[in-house]
């Protein structure tokens, strides 16, 4: 084999996911894309807000010398100031540009954070189900991801988190609203996590960080609120992107925001600025930085996702599926009617429906449906969902 054994192993362990996508492509080629109902990817189907195109056009038409030159590693100071001003209001905390580092999306941000804080063998805890690539990000930097079970409704299990903490624990990554469940972790539970990490950090004589991955923060329903981790625990770091709230996943623009109360604030920021460069990101895209500086607080029309959520939940409930209605994000994570979620996803494929087995997210016995799709996709898929579950009754 000519490639690294680690990558070879990743490819092997993920082969069933890759096969699912390959089968989806075959189905679309055979039956036509309009006849295949693809709920597999969390790729926003809404266009960016009108203001995005307006600001982008204005910036291009007002190009100045040096607009595409190198910049400080953390990003343009005025962009970070704009982000900090918005975050100060959103989190009721005095944040400055000195706590902000612009990144290539939330994925880039997580890799920068982990590169900065991890020593070989360090462990990162995360509630399961979880975004599958966390495992790869941890191992990118010689760490180890430790999934921790959640409660049946996918809320945090504090006892399980406490039991999972060891002398090697360096951080806890949370994702709220969560991919793949859409669950939002309550302020009370996050306060308990913060209290636990304070106690354990003192016991172990090392700082345990709380990292919050927040690309779905603004995609919430029914008046739900996403608590700020800054008020739960001082040793906390947020990373996020504009991929979902502005529908810009391909532009790879996001940021890291370190809690101003963090004990080693300067070390963290300086370390992450270096990591941003040596990991090859160097800087977040210059043009996108300039655009989002003028779009703080803007978001897509979340009411369309809310409408899709209702359409999907009502339809699947009528078919007999069981699920927790998600308060945020644009995913539904129903129970599989059989224990083998991979087999059930294959049964859905027979009805030309593409979903993702929960096993890939550390949530076996479930499957993920991304409802950031056209309404017609949901409506037209319902007969297939009904036929699939009937096969196992």
Q: Where in the chain is the domain with CATH 3.40.640.10?
A: 66-292
Quote the pTM value: 0.95
CB 254 within 8 Å of CB 75: no
Say yes or no to pLDDT of 17 above 80: no
Confidence at residue 273, expressed as pLDDT on a 0 to 100 scale? 96
Q: pLDDT by residue (tens digit) across 249-281?
A: 999 999 999 999 999 999 999 999 999 999 999
Q: What is the mean pLDDT of residues 27-31?
A: 89
CA distance 73 to 81: 15
Confidence at residue 1, expressed as pLDDT on a 0 to 100 scale? 62
What is the CA 3 to chain-centroid distance, rounded?
28
CA distance 392 to 337: 7
As its CATH architecture, domain 5-48+300-390 has: Alpha-Beta Complex (3.90)
CATH of 66-292, one of 3.40.640.10, 1.10.3720.10, 1.10.1740.10, 3.50.50.60: 3.40.640.10
Q: Where in the chain is the domain with CATH 3.90.1150.10?
A: 5-48+300-390
What the block records as the tokens of 340 is 């083998």
Confidence at residue 47, expressed as pLDDT on a 0 to 100 scale? 95
Say yes or no to pLDDT of 12 above 80: no
Residue 21's pLDDT band, with cuts at 50, 70 and 90, is low
Confidence at residue 256, expressed as pLDDT on a 0 to 100 scale? 98
Place of tokens 């972790």: 185
Backbone angles phi, psi at 265, to 5 degrees: -55, -50
DSSP for 55-85 reads: HHHHHHHT--TTTTS---TT--HHHHHHHHH
Confidence at residue 205, expressed as pLDDT on a 0 to 100 scale? 97
DSSP letter (8 states) at residue 47: P
> Measured between alpha carbons, how far apart are the two ends of the chain, in Å?
45
Confidence at residue 11, expressed as pLDDT on a 0 to 100 scale? 75
Which of 11-25, 193-207, 241-255, 277-291 shows the lowest per-residue confidence on average (mean pLDDT)?
A: 11-25
- Cα separations in angstroms, 179 against 57, 64, 163, 370: 33, 40, 24, 10
Q: What is the mean pLDDT of residues 129-142?
A: 95
Which of 26-35, 225-234, 355-364 shows the lowest per-residue confidence on average (mean pLDDT)?
A: 26-35
The number of beta carbons lying within 10 Å of the beta carbon of residue 72 is 12
């Amino acid at each position: 084999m000519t490639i690294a054994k680690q990558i070879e192993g990743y490819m092997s362990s993920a082969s069933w996911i890759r096969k699912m996508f390959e089968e989806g492509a075959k189905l679309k080629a055979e039956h036509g894309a309009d006849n295949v109902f693809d709920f597999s990817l969390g790729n926003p189907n809404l266009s960016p807000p009108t203001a995005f195109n307006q600001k982008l056009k204005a910036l291009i038409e007002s190009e100045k010398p040096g607009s595409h030159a190198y910049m400080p590693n953390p990003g343009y100071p005025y962009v970070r100031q704009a982000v900090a001003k918005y975050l100060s209001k959103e989190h009721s905390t005095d944040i400055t540009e000195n706590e902000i580092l612009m990144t290539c999306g939330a994925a880039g941000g997580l890799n920068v954070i982990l590169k900065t804080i991890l020593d070989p063998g360090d462990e990162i805890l995360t509630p399961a189900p979880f975004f599958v690539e966390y495992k790869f990000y941890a191992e990118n930097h010689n760490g180890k991801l430790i999934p921790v079970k959640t409660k049946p409704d996918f809320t945090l299990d504090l006892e399980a988190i406490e039991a999972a903490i060891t002398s090697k624990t360096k951080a806890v990554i949370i994702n709220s609203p969560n991919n793949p469940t859409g669950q939002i972790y309550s302020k009370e539970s996050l306060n308990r996590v913060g209290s636990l990490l304070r106690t354990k950090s003192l016991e172990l004589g090392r700082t345990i960080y709380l990292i919050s991955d927040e690309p779905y923060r603004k995609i919430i329903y029914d008046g739900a609120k996403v608590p700020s981790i800054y008020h739960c625990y001082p040793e906390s770091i947020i990373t996020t992107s504009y991929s979902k709230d502005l529908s810009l996943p391909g532009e790879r623009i996001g940021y890291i925001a370190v809690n101003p109360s963090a004990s080693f604030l300067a070390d963290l920021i300086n370390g992450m600025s270096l990591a941003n460069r040596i990991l090859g990101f160097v800087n977040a895209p210059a043009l996108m930085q300039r655009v989002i500086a003028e779009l703080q607080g803007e978001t897509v029309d979340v009411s369309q996702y809310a409408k899709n959520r209702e359409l999907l939940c009502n339809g699947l409930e009528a078919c007999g599926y069981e699920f927790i209605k998600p308060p945020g994000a644009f995913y539904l994570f129903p129970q599989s009617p059989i224990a083998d979620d991979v087999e059930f996803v294959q049964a859905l494929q027979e009805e030309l429906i593409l979903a993702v087995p929960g096993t890939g997210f550390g949530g076996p016995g479930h499957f993920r449906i991304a409802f950031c799709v056209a309404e017609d996709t949901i409506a037209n898929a319902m007969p297939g969902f009904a036929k699939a579950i009937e096969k196992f009754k």
